[in-house]
Amino acid sequence: MTRLFGTDGVRGLANQKLTPILALKLGQAAAEVFTGDRESFERRPLAIIGRDPRVSGEMLDAAIASGLASRGVDVLRVGVLPTPAVAFLTDDYGADFGVMISASHNPMPDNGIKFFSAGGRKLPDSIEDQIQAQMDTLTEEGPTGTKLGRVITEAPDARERYLKHLAESVTVDLTGIKVVVDAANGAASKVAPRAYEAAGAEVIAIHNKPNAFNINEDCGSTHIEKTQEAVREHGADLGLAHDGDADRCLAVDAEGNVVDGDQIMALLAVGMKEEGRLRDSTLVATVMSNLGLKLAMKEQNITVIEANVGDRYVLEELGKGDFSLGGEQSGHVVLPANATTGDGTLTGLNIMARMAKTGKSLAELASVMTVLPQVLINVPVADKTTIMSNSEVQSAIVEAESELDGTGRVLLRPSGTEELFRVMVEAADAEQARKVAGRLAAVVAAA
């Protein structure tokens, strides 16, 4: 059986791979899995549904809500909000589970569905597998009459609840900091600028006018050059670029240089250790993190634990040791004291709080880490599951590792959300990294 769920929920081209019928069945199956033991419920089960502003979200929202209600679950639709807001609200409203409809950084035609358990936590593989298995046993007939769920179409205080949570999480006065915010015409468009202004920052918002079709289009964290241009144009102290569902944050310093997720984790880890908030002096990163992060943290006597790629796996490692900071190079940064998942707006607030506390520029703070040359090539493939078993690919990897001879590293892995195979090479020399990565990518493409 082909696994329906990827590293971040069910994702695909909306209305083809991800259809309303599939969304309906996912809703019904999730209702059965999350609320199967109805005898333990003192009230009717409640689910939260949020989405990003892409056009297919309206259709999928309606389908999932119908599926849930048809199995006796009440639904509270919170509208367009970031993924971390839906996670927070799942807990804040006391819901039994939550649903986010978003394809994150993917192009507008794609969409995705991810679930949160009670408390706003991402699901382990085992629960996702139960939902998929439940879809095969669904009957057409369900409860009737008073046992049907209700669909509440508005939650007027949802956004304010989330903004209040952000304000209480980071209380440092950001007056005097001028920041460009690229909201990717996505879920953060109305939230992130308000959160930063409420903390005292002077905000220049760009790409904050979603129209259902322009999400991630030449903007946001996947097109950070627009943030770089705006920072230089406005003479800002920094820029913050979010993705479509705002669980990511990448930064740009005053000179227009990109500060990626590894550098953000490094500067936050150092600050949290100084303040006694970095539990066991440990940071959780992933196998994709730059070797420079490990070297920098070693100098600061901070242990780095590596997780698989995907913030859900970072979260698992964080939970095992009750650690206080983790994340990915892509800009997913997790601060468990304030969030159950990556939160781009919360990350932005913490970056600026560190600047305000130290009086240092972002460039100064980020200089704690030296980024080694790293090349990442995304290769479109027909079947990403067979690449690593290909003998020519294996031979090419051995040859590349021999050429680097311990001065760098090679990592090949399938994308968890797209039909891509990722080829990553680090080397002491940028040109060598490009050449080795190019050769490996060509072999993968041929395979």
Distance separating alpha carbons of residues 175 and 191, to the nearest angstrom: 19
From the CB of residue 307, how many other CB atoms can be counted at a distance below 10 Å?
Answer: 23
Q: Model confidence at 374, in pLDDT bands (50, 70, 90)?
A: confident
Within this chain, do residues 56 and 98 fall inside the same structural domain, yes or no?
A: yes
Q: Do the beta carbons of residue 85 and residue 162 sit within 8 Å?
A: yes
Within this chain, do residues 240 and 273 fall inside the same structural domain, yes or no?
A: yes
Question: In the predicted model, what is the mean pLDDT of residues 30-39?
Answer: 83
- The answer as to whether 263 is a domain residue is yes
Give ∠ CA 15-68-36 in degrees, rounded to 5: 130
Q: Write out the binding residues.
A: 104, 243, 245, 247
Distance separating alpha carbons of residues 102 and 9, to the nearest angstrom: 9
pLDDT of residue 153: 84
Q: Do the beta carbons of residue 99 and residue 115 sit within 8 Å?
A: yes
Q: Quick one: which H or E segment has residue 87?
A: helix 83-92
Is the pLDDT higher at 279 or at 406? 279
Within this chain, do residues 207 and 274 fall inside the same structural domain, yes or no?
A: yes
- What percent of the chain lies above the pLDDT cut of 90? 82
CATH number at 290 reads 3.40.120.10
Task: Please tell me the least confidently modeled range out of 25-39, 267-281, 336-350.
Answer: 25-39
Within this chain, do residues 362 and 257 fall inside the same structural domain, yes or no?
A: yes
Question: In the predicted model, what is the mean pLDDT of residues 170-194?
Answer: 98
Within this chain, do residues 221 and 132 fall inside the same structural domain, yes or no?
A: no
pLDDT of residue 39: 61
Within this chain, do residues 356 and 400 fall inside the same structural domain, yes or no?
A: no
Q: Model confidence at 41, in pLDDT bands (50, 70, 90)?
A: low
Within this chain, do residues 188 and 104 fall inside the same structural domain, yes or no?
A: no
Of 366, 392, 410, the residue at which a domain comes to its end is 366
Give the domain range for residue 84. Answer: 10-156
| Amino acid letter for position 295 | L
At which residue do the structure tokens 């069945």 appear?
A: 25
Within this chain, do residues 167 and 138 fall inside the same structural domain, yes or no?
A: no
Within this chain, do residues 204 and 144 fall inside the same structural domain, yes or no?
A: no
Residue 42 pLDDT more than 80?
no
CATH number at 437 reads 3.30.310.50
Within this chain, do residues 249 and 342 fall inside the same structural domain, yes or no?
A: yes
> How many domains is the chain partitioned into structurally?
3
Q: Model confidence at 129, in pLDDT bands (50, 70, 90)?
A: very high
Of 115, 139, 156, the residue at which a domain comes to its end is 156
What are 209-233's pLDDT values in tens digits?
999 999 999 999 999 999 999 999 9
Residue 38 pLDDT more than 90?
no
Distance separating alpha carbons of residues 303 and 284, to the nearest angstrom: 8
160: region left, alpha or beta (phi > 0 left; psi from -120 to 50 alpha): alpha
Question: In the predicted model, what is the mean pLDDT of residues 274-293?
Answer: 95
- The answer as to whether 3 is a domain residue is no
Distance separating alpha carbons of residues 118 and 97, to the nearest angstrom: 5
- The answer as to whether 109 is a domain residue is yes
Catalytic residue check, 104: yes
- The answer as to whether 256 is a domain residue is yes
From the CB of residue 231, how many other CB atoms can be counted at a distance below 10 Å?
Answer: 26
Question: In the predicted model, what is the mean pLDDT of residues 183-194?
Answer: 98
Share the mean pLDDT of the chain. Answer: 94
Of 156, 183, 212, the residue at which a domain comes to its end is 156
Within this chain, do residues 173 and 298 fall inside the same structural domain, yes or no?
A: yes
Catalytic residue of the set 66, 102, 104, 289: 104
- The answer as to whether 5 is a domain residue is no
Q: Write out the binding residues for Mg(2+).
A: 104, 243, 245, 247
